[in-house]
């Protein structure tokens, strides 16, 4: 797999905020030299409008630098440009069957930003994986392995016959959604002590509910905050992420990945590597 990355995503930060450049910078030390890197281009406004309302896109575009969109989500200078670049990287990952290693993340951003009644954006601006999937316009399975429920992605694709959404996530924790499955959106809440064994058993069960003959591509919302000791820990290990990759690779479909959460940089680098290696072992 190729890594989609731009140094520009290291340019912005917010004092004291957990979604900071270091979580990517430290991981890069483990990934450089092992993978080919590709430079992304920003998503266009047309790309954004495939998923989000014009009012919401304009809100991000015109947000005052130094303010907050909500209590979790600040407005660093030029955040619209960084968010567009992250969305564009997700599409390049889908096109190249690579892995977008960009920030900001996106899976909490719904159609008009907030999703499924949740009042905060969870560090997200545009829903990167949703923008990529809509632009690819293929029957898609989106597997969200972030420790938090991908409430924005569910809202966007709820009832869409061309997208199946699976989320394994910790409960109780933010955003408090995803307690049950709804149609094409399959949710599997787990406790913080789940560990590799229960997680992988649950993932096998989830994938077994998908008619893969109807799927042409698999997109992974790859959050690594389910790693033991991270923000939404499900007590996973790096070895667990390799096994997740093997299960995904064994589906026999083209796969791409998009970075979501994961805030301990050294772990994130190892986990990305293990996930990719697991996928490639089975493809």
Q: Which of 17, 52, 107, 108 is catalytic?
A: 108
Mean pLDDT of all residues in 101-120: 97
What is the reported pLDDT for 58?
Answer: 98
What tokens does 191 get? 């406790």
- CA-based angle 127:128:133, to the nearest 5? 100
State the total domains in the chain. Answer: 1
Does residue 283 have a pLDDT over 90?
Answer: no
Residue 108 a catalytic site member: yes
**What pTM was computed for the model?**
0.98
Does residue 231 have a pLDDT over 90?
Answer: yes
Mean pLDDT of all residues in 177-205: 98
Q: How far is CA 53 from CA 50, 126, 127, 156, in A?
A: 8, 11, 12, 11
Q: Mark out the alpha helices in 64-193 (DSSP H runs).
A: 79-96, 128-136, 151-157
CATH of the domain at 141: 3.40.800.20
Whole-number Å distance between alpha carbons of 148 and 268? 16
Residue 196: give the domain boundaries.
3-282
């Amino acid at each position: 797999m190729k890594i989609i990355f731009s140094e520009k995503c290291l340019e912005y930060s917010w004092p004291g905020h957990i979604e900071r450049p270091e979580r990517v910078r430290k991981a890069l030390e483990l990934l450089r030299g092992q993978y080919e890197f590709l430079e992304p281009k920003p998503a266009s406004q047309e790309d954004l409008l495939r998923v989000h309302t014009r009012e919401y896109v304009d809100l991000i575009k015109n947000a005052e630098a130094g303010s907050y969109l909500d209590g979790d989500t600040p407005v660093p200078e030029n955040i619209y440009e960084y968010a567009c670049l992250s969305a564009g990287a997700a599409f390049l990952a889908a096109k190249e069957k690579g892995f977008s290693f960009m920030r900001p993340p996106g899976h909490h951003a719904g159609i008009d930003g907030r999703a499924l009644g949740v009042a905060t954006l969870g560090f997200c601006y545009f829903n990167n994986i949703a923008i990529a999937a809509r632009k690819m316009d293929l029957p898609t399975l989106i597997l969200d392995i972030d420790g938090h429920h991908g409430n924005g992605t569910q809202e966007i694709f709820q009832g869409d016959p061309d997208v199946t959404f699976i989320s394994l996530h910790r409960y109780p924790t933010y955003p408090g959604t995803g307690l049950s499955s709804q149609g094409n959106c399959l949710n599997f809440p787990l406790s913080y002590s789940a560990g590799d064994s229960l997680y992988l058993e649950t993932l096998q069960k989830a994938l077994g509910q998908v008619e893969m003959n109807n799927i042409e591509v698999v997109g992974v919302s790859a959050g690594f905050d389910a790693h033991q000791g991270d923000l939404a820990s499900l007590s996973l290990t790096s070895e667990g992420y390799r096994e997740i990759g093997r299960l995904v690779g064994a589906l026999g479909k083209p796969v791409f990945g998009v970075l979501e959460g994961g805030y301990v940089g050294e772990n994130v680098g190892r986990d990305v590597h293990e996930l990719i290696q697991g996928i490639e072992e089975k493809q």
